[in-house]
Chains A and B, each alone.
Chain A
Amino acid sequence: MTYIAKPRVSHPGLPKNELGLTSRDYEGAVSTLCAGCGHDSVTAAIIQAVFELNVEPHMLAKMSGIGCSSKTPAYFVSQSHGFNSVHGRMPSVTTGANAGNRDLMYIGVSGDGDSLSIGVGQFVHAIRRNLNMCYVIENNGVYGLTKGQFSASADIGSLPKKGMPNQQEPIDPVSTALSLGATYIARSFSGDKEQLVPLLKGALLHSGFSLVDIISPCVTFNDHEGSTKSYAHTREFYHHVVNIDYVHPSEEIKAAYAEGEAMPIHLHGGDTIVLRKVDEGYDPTSRASAFKFLRDRFNAGEITTGLLYVNESREEMHELMHNADTPLSKLKFEDLNPGAAELEKLQRRFR
């Protein structure tokens, strides 16, 4: 928590995006999280990503539940829409919002507690629906807000600040999402913005559900020796397998991506991401091999990061349901509510 607000004064040479905005224009209120919390770095990465994507603030909706992580939407893009829901219920609220207005860009920010404990059912079904959203888990292995109890992502043997090591099997959001058929799955680290910002950009543009699981150390309750979610531990066991670069529709894909070495993936909106393998043994387009790789590396104590799985061919929720292109919120009342006679006609079809 900081008492003075971050002053509005800024570097006069700050770059501007296509809307004439600087990254400072995408900031929110000053953070009330502990100094050094990984979540604040994720906030900074989100700001950078939406700035670079020229997102119009009023076309963004920030959704969250409860937790330190879930507080963070207050700290970015003040001029966007937002909903801070009940603990673990962000996915349903986002489903509703998205159903009503499919034109907005949805970013949900959740925690490992919010998504993998109380909200795990919600999380799972959002994936199943292939809800078009970017789902960020700020994963610190604990319930930060309630003073550091182990969460469902804590690894076996990980030590709390005081007390006994965790003995329960962790839920890995990445493998979970992979098994449920999510179409954009990434893992990153709050302390590596070079990797994180492009992953977030890809996730925001991806059509369908995209998960970005971010190791985001809780500096107060889970950054000590013996913790497997500390800054030092994450850095030591970090294994980066697939790098991505975001390519703006107006840019040509650079010649530097020699054949075979780089894999361009065209996103629905016309943007492109270019994948580059850092670890030759990894194939981010095969669910089966990704699953095995992740298990093996996990058992070896490594934290696999990068864009771990991507599949642009699956339809997202509205497409699956053959919904109107126009957001429901923008349809005229008569079109939304054609009257009792029309309803009767419709019901007759299903009798």
Chain B
Amino acid sequence: MKPTDTSNPDYFHKVVDCQWGCPAHTDVPAYIRMIAQGRFSDAYMENRKSNVFPGILGRVCDRPCEPACRRGRVEEKPVAICRLKRVAADHRDDIRDRLPRAPDNSNGKKIALIGAGCASLTVANDLRPLGYDVTIFEALDTTGGLMRTNIPQFRLPPKVLDEEIDYILDMGVDLKLNHRIESLKALLDDGFDAVFVGTGAPRGKNLEIPGRYDSDRIHIGIDWLESIAFEHTKSVGKNVLIIGVGNTAMDCCRSSLRLGAENVKVMARKPRGFFKASDWELQDAEEEEVEILVNHSPREFVIEDGKLVGMRFELMEYNVDEKGRIDRGTVTGEKFIPCDDVVLAIGQDNAFPWIERNIGIEFNEWDCPVVDETTMMCTRKGVFFGGDSAFGPKNIIWAVEHGHQAAISIHKHCHDKDIEDRLPMGLNLASQKMGMHEWSFSNDYNPAARRLMPHVDLKQRFKKLNIEVELGFTVEQTIEEVERCLNCDMQTVFTEKLCIECDACVDICPVNCLTITDNGEESELRTRLSAPADNHEQTLYVSAGLPQTSRVMVKDEDLCVHCSLCAERCPTGAWDMQKSTILIPYASDEASDEQPTTAAGGSGA
């Protein structure tokens, strides 16, 4: 193999699995160390820089970082990254004077943002400090989009939502509520310098089977959740069937329990393991004694005397092949299940009835606009998309990342610059050696298991719709959980010319990451390492030829626990622990025309 090029910021970025896995690249280990030091406000600000809504995301983020977390490979459970984010948010001081501020004078550019969901709000957050005049048009009489209308209050209290949205609106955003955009053409004629479409994926999927239109007790999940949020719906029947087993279904079944349902069944077409809902959402629902029935495919709604009495399902059987793929299944029977209400939670579609098809915006075969994945611009110059409206339903953290990228593009567009020519990510490396055996961070492996979120008592929580179920970590839990983080940004950095091939690092490494051996092709080299190197998604760090024997030092990044022992045992300092800071450009960096240099994350802890 060729010597690894560590000057490419992606190399060390990828080692920080959580940060690499986060769509917005939140510097997770940095903020966890701040929490460890009790610097909650700093941790909050570090989060806010990349993910804008730490309090919200600390509760309801889809957390792609956690399955990516290295700790989950070394032992069973990843670090409770999301829960710790909430710790930062819950214990922060008033940070309003640390927020970005809009300048006194406008830069004369007018931007329209359609929809007041997290995508548009992020664009506003990034552009207001640069002096843009930002107008948000929102169809409803409130902000937040699905975060307010669909994510139930027992998961996300309105107070948390309001605080973080107000941080943005208080920068001076012209918010026009109850202002549905009916024609993009008309808006474009209004003379905005750029338009951002953040209207989400607002149409819940329907289930066109017999009986669908013969009762008013069959609800579309996202509309139904919205009517609960706005208190139009205040009750539900005793027996409720939820169709589908994604995250929306989990919110629907748990909401039903709070509206008076006694018997809630989630009807899954496929077996466990093929559910769309995240594990933790399933667990939370099952803790509330929601029953999940697998292998039931809906056939018809059964109506008697004009009244919904139940549903008939086909019972399914599936074959799963060795690669874990499931076939289409065969019907083995039929079953009637009685109910009073049915909620359909089988997905969402995009819908753009208000975008004219003759204004230069190309739509694809699914009737969605064609949007560039980097610039977020559609085929009409100056019109940008982000969040669920861009590529279909995703989640909040993706919407935020789209918002950041769209803000960069909008800034460049408004200044007649090439929107494709964007600042690259940067990398800072700084040695963390403080003394013979002292590092700037806590490098001792804490074998503690993942802490479990304490919940409100099972009876208590159903009393009202808006009792937040998760209580947040206690101090003791926080102290333990922060130490579970392996500090993956504390990189092992190798200098071959210093190595005397004494093997000290190879011998001490607790997880057998290191090998000194003859070079070879990657697939072959992987078979000759100190321990099996079967995870091909993780890179091998390969040195140039070593001075004494021209063999190479190979590190399998997969399981390194960043304990620093290799660097401590190295007599020559050939291994060093250096903190990597990934420098992520935002619109403000593009505006100052400089690579971001400040490592707001800092080291410490």
A-side residues, CB < 8 A to B, are 1-14, 24, 34-38, 40-41, 43-44, 190-191, 193, 217, 219, 223, 231-232, 235
- Do residues A4 and B503 form an inter-chain contact, with CB atoms below 8 A? no
Q: Is the CB of B500 within 8 A of A223?
A: yes
Residues from chain B with a CB closer than 8 A to the CB of A235 are 501, 548-549
Q: Considering only CB atoms, which chain B residue lies closest to A14 in the complex? A: B531
Interface assignment of B331: CB less than 8 Å from any CB of chain A: no
- Chain B residues with Cβ under 8 A from A12's Cβ? 73-74, 559
Contacting residue for B511 out of A5, A9, A40, A231, CB 8 A: A9
Contact of A7 among B506, B532, B561, B572 (CB under 8 A): B561
A23 and chain B: residue at smallest CB distance:
B512
Contact with A along B67-82 (1 / 0, CB 8 A): 0000001110000000
Taking the complex as formed, is B445 at the interface, i.e. its CB lies under 8 A from any CB of chain A?
yes
Closest Cβ of chain A to B564, distance in Å, is: 8
Extra inter-chain contacts (8) besides given A4-B444, A4-B563, A11-B511, CB under 8 Å: A1-B437, A6-B510, A7-B444, A8-B447, A34-B571, A36-B570, A43-B507, A231-B502
Residues of A within 8 A of B532 (CB): 11, 13
Residue of A6, A11, A44, A232 near B565 (CB, 8 A) is: A6
> Of all chain A residues, which has the CB nearest B508?
A6
| Chain B interface residues (CB < 8 Å from chain A) | 73-75, 437-438, 443-445, 447, 500-504, 506-508, 510-512, 531-532, 534, 548-549, 559, 561, 563-565, 568-572
Q: Which residues of chain B are within 8 angstroms of A41 by Cβ–Cβ distance?
A: 502-504, 507
Q: A193–B517 Cα gap in the complex (Å)? A: 11
What's the nearest-Cβ distance from chain A to residue B428, in Å?
Answer: 26
A34 to B436, CA, bound (A): 11
CA distance A216 to B469 in the complex (A): 62
Contacts of A13 in B (CB 8 A): 531-532, 534
Q: Which residue on A lies nearest to B572, using beta carbons?
A: A36
For the complex, would chain A's binding face be called helix, strand, loop or mixed by DSSP majority?
loop
Q: B503 — which chain A residues lie within 8 A by C-beta?
A: 40-41, 44, 190-191, 193
Q: Let me know if B501 and A35 touch, CB within 8 A.
A: no
Contacts of A217 in B (CB 8 A): 502
Do residues B501 and A2 form an inter-chain contact, with CB atoms below 8 A? no
Rounded to whole Å, the gap between the CB of B490 and the closest CB of chain A is: 14
Q: Indicate the member of B73, B502, B548, B568 with the most A CB atoms within 10 Å.
A: B502
Contact B570 A35 (CB under 8 A): yes
Which residues of B sit under 8 angstroms from A24, Cβ to Cβ?
A: 510
B512 to chain A: which residues have CB within 8 Å? 10-11, 14
CA distance A43 to B569 in the complex (A): 14
A232-B500 Cα distance, complex, nearest whole Å: 8
CB pair A36 B502 closer than 8 Å: yes
Q: What distance in Å separates the Cβ of A47 from its nearest Cβ neighbour in chain B?
A: 9
**Closest beta carbon of chain B to A163's beta carbon, Å:** 22
Residues of A within 8 A of B571 (CB): 34-36, 219
Q: Which residues of B contact A232 (CB under 8 A)?
A: 500, 548
Contacts of A34 in B (CB 8 A): 571
Report the Cα distance A5→B437, complex, angstroms.
Answer: 12
Specify which chain A residues have a CB less than 8 angstroms from the CB of B508 in the assembled complex. 2, 6, 40
Report if A36-B510 is in contact (Cβ < 8 Å); known contacts: A4-B443, A41-B504. no
Distance A23 CA – B594 CA, assembled complex (angstroms): 51
A40 & B507 in contact (Cβ 8 Å cutoff): yes
Q: Which A residues lie within 8 Å of B73 (CB)?
A: 12
Q: Is the CB of B531 within 8 A of A11?
A: yes
A-B contact pairs, 30 of them (CB 8 A): A1-B437, A2-B565, A2-B569, A6-B565, A7-B561, A8-B445, A9-B447, A10-B510, A11-B511, A11-B531, A12-B73, A12-B74, A13-B532, A14-B512, A35-B568, A35-B569, A35-B570, A36-B502, A36-B504, A36-B569, A36-B572, A40-B504, A41-B507, A44-B503, A44-B506, A191-B501, A191-B502, A191-B503, A235-B501, A235-B548
- Look across to chain A and name the residue whose beta carbon is closest to the beta carbon of B443: A4
| CB-defined contacts of B570 to chain A, threshold 8 Å | 35-36
- Interchain residue pairs A-B with the least CB separation, the first 6: A36-B571, A7-B445, A44-B507, A13-B532, A3-B437, A11-B531
User: What chain A residues lie within 8 Å of B447 (beta carbons)?
Assistant: 7-9
Cβ–Cβ < 8 Å partners of B559 in chain A: 11-12
Question: B502 touching A219 by the CB < 8 A rule?
Answer: yes
- Residue of A with least CB distance to B444: A4
**CB closest chain-A residue, reference B436:** A1
In whole angstroms, what is the CA distance A7 to B559 when docked? Answer: 13
Contact of B74 among A6, A9, A40, A219 (CB under 8 A): A9
In whole Å, how far is A30's beta carbon from the nearest beta carbon of chain B?
Answer: 8
Closest-by-CB residue of B relative to A217 is: B502
Q: In the bound complex, what is the Cα–Cα distance between A40 and B571 (angstroms)?
A: 12
A8 to B511, CA, bound (A): 9
CA separation between A235 and B501, bound complex, in Å?
A: 10
Q: Name which of A4, A190, A191, A217 has the most chain B CB atoms within 10 A of its CB.
A: A4
Please give the distance in Å from A128's CB to the nearest CB on chain B. Answer: 35
Q: How distant is the Cα of A1 from the Cα of B435 in the complex, in angstroms?
A: 13
A residues within 8 A CB of B534? 13
B74 partner residues in chain A, CB cutoff 8 A = 9, 12
Contacts of B506 in A (CB 8 A): 44
CA distance A223 to B568 in the complex (A): 19
In the complex, how many angstroms separate the beta carbon of A39 from the nearest chain B beta carbon?
10
Q: Which residues of chain B come closer than 8 Å to A35, judged between CB atoms?
A: 504, 568-571
* Most B CB within 10 A of own CB, among A2, A6, A36, A232: A36
B553 to A: closest C-beta gap in Å: 13
CA distance A24 to B559 in the complex (A): 16
- Which residues on B sit within 8 Å (CB–CB) of A191? 501-503
Greatest chain B CB density within 10 A among A7, A24, A35, A223 is at: A35
A6 to B506, CA, bound (A): 13
For the complex, what is the distance from the CA of A11 to the CA of B561, rounded to whole Å? 10
How far does the alpha carbon of A190 sit from the alpha carbon of B502 in the complex, in Å?
8
Contacts of B500 in A (CB 8 A): 36, 219, 223, 231-232
A34–B571 Cα distance when bound, in Å, is: 8
B445–A9 touching, CB < 8 Å: yes
Minimum C-beta distance from A210 to chain B (A): 23
Query: CA separation between A217 and B437, bound complex, in Å?
Result: 22
Chain A neighbourhood of B572, CB < 8 A: 36
Q: Contact: A9 with B569, CB < 8 Å?
A: no
User: B565–A4 contact, CB under 8 A?
Assistant: yes
CA distance A9 to B508 in the complex (A): 12
A223 to B569, CA, bound (A): 16
Determine how close the nearest CB of chain A comes to the CB of B152; give it in whole angstroms. Answer: 38
Instruction: Tell me if A2 and B568 are in contact (CB < 8 A).
Output: yes
